[in-house]
Structure 1
Amino acid sequence: MGERLPSPGSIIQRDYRDLQTPTPHRSETLRLLQWNIERGYKLPGIIEELKQIDADVIALQEVDIGCERSGSLDTGNEIAKALGLNYAFFCEFEELRSPLRTPELQGGGVHGNAILSKFDILDLGLVQHSVHPVDWNKAEEPRARLEPRRGERAVLRARIAAPGTNLVVYCAHLEVFCGALVRMRHLADIFNDARSQIDQGYPRIAILGDMNTMAHGVARLSPSYCCDRMRFRFLGSTEGEVWQDKILSVPDPRYSEPHATDALAPNPHVLAWGLPPQVALGALNPGFSDPFDARNTVTLDNPKYRWGPWSLMAGKLDWMMLRQLTVHSTSLGNQGVPIMSLPSSSGGVNRHGMQVDKAIVLGASLSRLLGTQIVYKTIGAGLKCAQPHW
């Protein structure tokens, strides 16, 4: 690595598109791809699969630059160059080299998330989280002793000039070493920022990411993965089902009804769980839906936690929350291509998404691609831009 590494909290952008050649584009269609690439351990395979998918907009989590565990490569840059895409990388952490780390986790570089696009990136920003359950900057922090790093999590936001419309895309990777309540706060942070984008005249939004919604199954017994009072509060449901049934199902009337007033009632479920009223207000859904049902979408199924045919730690960790976009097709795994559509000059719209292989899930994340074991991957969706109805 000859170049200076980016510092935690910084965003870098590089454009590898051939601007002399117009971007070939499927007729009014758009493919979205969400993928946790697990540090890019299998970078050649990742690049080959991304070439086959040919997504228009890609959200990647766990992108390494200069880390020994991933061959000291700039994994996101390698992907962007190979695909000829516009590329934005947000550096979350400096991954410190340490004898405490095993070789497959060894640092020496930086780590973060990225958005790649065939189209112009008009604006970049970050959504800062209101709380940080793990202070990675403190040496005495128990998690930091095992995984020494500096920095903190945030959400990368890009405004993209998609054909016929501007599309706001978020790329999130929420904390896993906490509990469900912190992740609810973080989702409320993203919703609050999305409201700001809508109010500025950007209603078409995609929230993509590995949200680590895994506070269920045997994870409930873990002091690392479930360390709040919600551990047994929603027995019988996965954390993903709680998001779907108790958060996404509670609309913000200001963004879902034609003549709603500013007199708002907070999300009653979030209040009942003991979170502050401002968080319960932020958790009102300003018009998002996810085409992948939390009850039948699995993006993590750890073989270590199986008992015969039963999965003891499985669920939907990866999300694709869409606003004013009509889904035409979706797929999980390497057998399909999701489609999303945007409005053309005449008001019509549409597009495609993505795919994965074997135990990989589209729109989920190629997350847990540890060593030679691939557990789950990306989620994609074929969408059409819905016309505004408010």
Structure 2
Amino acid sequence: MFDIRPGEIIEYDYRSSNIPSVSTTSLKILQWNVERNYEADGILKKIKELDPDVCVLQEIDIDCRRSGNRNHMEELCKTLKMKGVFVCEFWELESPLRKDRDQGGGLHGNAILTKHELTDIRVIDHQYQPFFWERDGALLNEPRKGRQVLLITRYTLASVINRPTCPSILIYNVHLEVFTGIIGRVSVFSELFQDAHFYTNQFPYQAIFGDLNTMAHSIARLSPKYARDRYRFLSLGETEASWFDRNILGYHIMDGPLNIRLLTMQRSSWTPLWILKSMFNSSNKLISNWGLSLGIWLTGFSADVMIKARNPGFYDGWPIQHDTLHNPAYFGLFKAKLDWTLLRNMEIKHQQYGNIDYKLSDHQYLMMEVDTDSNDILEDDNRRNALWLLRRQQFMNTHRIGYSRYLVLFVLLVLVLLALVV
């Protein structure tokens, strides 16, 4: 096994001595969860055919038995003639608990590769960790080892893409936990909004790509393994992607100091805890604090998460209904939009997706050609925010459910609140 601990980076550079000249300001970025490189050769062939400038990849194996004991990170960089950084999330322990298809023995993590230059490489150690793999992985027959001291098992990789004569772009590669629920995923993701906002002045052009595992809907609601919090019921009637788009991406940082949509459990056409907004905004500090405390108790989100989970200006370039995983198990009933390509201060020139037969991975790939907004737009807050809203509306989910379902939701909400009290 490599002498690399979870949370540490491996870097390869197989670019030719002649770094490609830039004839256009646009950039082609590929997002793909490659599912442990089971179909490594097919994946390499497809990426080479797509010819992206940047690859943002999740679930890369290095020296794991299940994927042929190969260093897939080095193979990707070498074949694609790119520079790449890989963050190790886990040591995949070899164990009799694992099936042959899942057998470990090596490293597992996520990577960013590019034809250009990578600088400002960072690993974000998340404060919120909704599932502890080192402690509980054996219960899922997948024993893993994370960073032992801090109990950190998920990381986000961040780096800056630098090209001659072009603006730098800050890119995040995130893979959120699947064995948790909406509260756990949003808590982790909120830290990325905070980080991106911190780097706004230094790197105004930003992208958050990754597998967000937004899957707590449909038949997954019935499984306490995949949907582990109260929102398995409180989001009934919509997909997790739709819930995430409205309550997280839809709440701009300029809308207020705290995400009111989380505080009030906002739905597409009604707000169950609307009274908490009035309480929180009260000039009476005692009433305001009561409103916040009640919201924390009822929603499950901490005040810290509600503050961080405010969008500094990202939008997703794909419709909410665009599913990137369709599981053939469970009679093919489960499908979800798991993969996201969030852009800030950039426009989409062209986009494509593929692997729709899921032969190379259990995820579709998403690729888009993007270009940076002009300085005139960046320097005008009103124009920039109006453009963000316009871009969001292009892909906004307009699906609504009938009033009969809202009655069911209301009854379920009452039952959940009663359960909390009892």
How does the TM-score come out when normalised to structure 1?
Answer: 0.83
Q: Equivalents in 1 of 2:43, 2:361: separation in Å? A: 11
> Bigger relative contact order, structure 1 or 2, given CA contacts below 8 A and separation 6+?
1
CA contact (8 A) 1:204 1:325 kept: yes
Gapped runs of 5+ residues in structure 2? 147-152, 265-298, 382-422
Richer in strand (by share): 1
Structure 2 SS opposite 1:127: strand
* In 2, Cα distance between equivalents of 1:170 and 1:377: 19
2:303 match: 277
Local SS of the residue matching 1:165: coil
Corresponding position of 1:203: 204
* Mapped pair 1:191 → 2:193: yes
Task: Tell me which stretches of 4 or more aligned residues in structure 1 moved more than 4 Å.
Answer: 142-145
Provide the secondary structure at the position in 2 that maps to 1:77. Answer: helix
Provide the secondary structure at the position in 1 that maps to 2:199: helix
Secondary structure at the aligned position of 1:78 is classed as helix
Give yes or no for contact 2:356–2:364 (8 Å, CA) kept in 1. Answer: no
What is the 5 A alignment of 1:158-173?
158-163=159-164, 164-173=166-175
What is the Cα deviation at residue 382 of structure 1?
Answer: 2.1
Deviation at 1:332, TM superposition (A): 1.8
SS of 2:300 mapped into structure 1: coil
Q: 1-side partners of 2:144 and 2:222: how far apart?
A: 26
Amino acid at match of 1:385: T
Pair 1:288 & 2:314 matched: yes
Over aligned residue pairs, what C-alpha RMSD do you find? 1.7
Counterpart CA distance in 1 for 2:167 and 2:183 is 35
Among 52, 57, 62, the alignment partner of 1:60 is 57
Alignment map for 1:340-379 (pairs within 5 Å): 357-360=355-358, 374-379=361-366
Match of 1:7 in 2: 5
CA contact 2:34–2:360 (8 Å) conserved in 1: no
Residues 1:241 and 2:238 are matched in the alignment: no
Amino acid at match of 1:18: S
Whether the 8 Å contact between 1:359 and 1:376 is mirrored in structure 2 is: no
Residue segments in structure 1 that go unaligned for 5+ positions in a row:
255-263, 334-356, 361-371
Whether the 8 Å CA contact 2:176–2:211 is kept in 1: the answer is yes
- For the residue of structure 2 that corresponds to 1:227, the secondary structure is coil
Q: Distance in 2 between matches of 1:161 and 1:332?
A: 25
Q: Please, what TM-score do these two structures have when normalized by structure 2?
A: 0.76
Hey, what does 1:69 align to over in structure 2? 66
Segment of structure 1 superposing worse, 82-91 or 128-137: 128-137
- TM-superposed deviation, 1:358: 3.3
Larger radius of gyration: 2
Identical aligned residues as a percent: 38
1:160 is paired with a residue of what secondary structure?
strand
Measured in 2, the distance between the counterparts of 1:94 and 1:7 equals 8
CA offsets per residue over residues 203-252 of structure 1, 9 Å max, x none?
10010000100000000000110010101111111000111111111101
Structure 1 residue 142: deviation in Å?
5.6
Match runs of 1:298-309 below 5 Å: 298-306=323-331
Q: How do 1:1-390 residues align onto structure 2 when only pairs under 5 Å count?
A: 4-19=2-17, 21-138=18-135, 141=136, 143-144=138-139, 146-151=141-146, 152-163=153-164, 164-199=166-201, 201-253=202-254, 264-272=256-264, 273-294=299-320, 296-306=321-331, 312-333=333-354, 357-360=355-358, 374-387=361-374, 388=378, 389-390=380-381
